[in-house]
Amino acid sequence: MFSGLLTRFRAHWVAPQDIRAEIWALGGRHHGDVIRGARSELAAPGISLRRAVLLKAVIRSATVGS
């Protein structure tokens, strides 16, 4: 039971350096509008779970910092 919970937690954990790198990349792709870019990419069809988790972490990080 505990190992299953730990596995699910790890699947949804995103390293801070991954969030920073994605913020930088989104800013480049979306002309500096990181949050709108993340939301747009999150709404795209066929997005992987890992990518969705990363984009949600970016949105949380960007809204907390503003």
Alpha-carbon span 4 to 22, nearest angstrom:
28
pLDDT band at 65 (very low <50, low <70, confident <90, very high): low
Alpha-carbon span 63 to 37, nearest angstrom:
13
pTM for the structure as a whole: 0.80
Asked whether the beta carbons of 52 and 14 are under 8 A apart, the reply is: no
pLDDT digits (tens, 9 = 90+) for 11-51: 678 999 999 999 999 999 999 999 999 999 999 999 999 99
| 41, amino acid identity | E
Asked whether the beta carbons of 30 and 37 are under 8 A apart, the reply is: yes
Question: Would you kindly state where each structural domain of the chain is located, as residue ranges?
Answer: 2-65
If one counts every other C-beta atom within 10 angstroms of the C-beta of residue 61, the result is 19
